Amino acid sequence: MVRGGIILTAALLAALGATADPAWAQTTRIGGAERMTFGDAAALVAQSCGADIDANCRGVNFDANRLRECLSRNTDVISAQCRSDYLRAFDAIQKRILARVGVANACAREIVKLCNGSTRETSKSIGCLTTAKGVSRNCIQAMDDAGYR
């Protein structure tokens, strides 16, 4: 089971698009509510649902969508803890993804003017945006929500 949990965690991290970006590992607090990192979400699912996944989702490719679909299909047989935690984890993942997409919109001016970048490749401008002077409050908030700062 431990080996399966480690493999599951590694697979989830790969499927969720883990990067070497150190900002990726940060947890953000917004309005007193904690936003889970991708790694925290994967660890939560691995810890709470490892046995349920082994029992009910064997052979499922461990990308986030397929795993969520499998757990949803098997709601009646998975543990209450897994049911609660996987919904929370996948919700947090979805919010983080949407927040990262929003950075391009909120920071478009700064990406082009301050960082000489392109909004099509926002991720290449994140390092510049986090250190540049004159970044708008909306852009800063968007980067906080996305976990980049």
Q: Given pLDDT bands bounded at 50, 70 and 90, which one contains residue 5?
A: very low
Round the average pLDDT of the chain to a whole number and report it. 78
Whether the Cβ atoms of residue 95 and residue 37 lie closer than 8 Å to each other: no
The predicted model scores a pTM of 0.61
pLDDT at 77 over 90: yes
Q: Given pLDDT bands bounded at 50, 70 and 90, which one contains residue 137?
A: very high
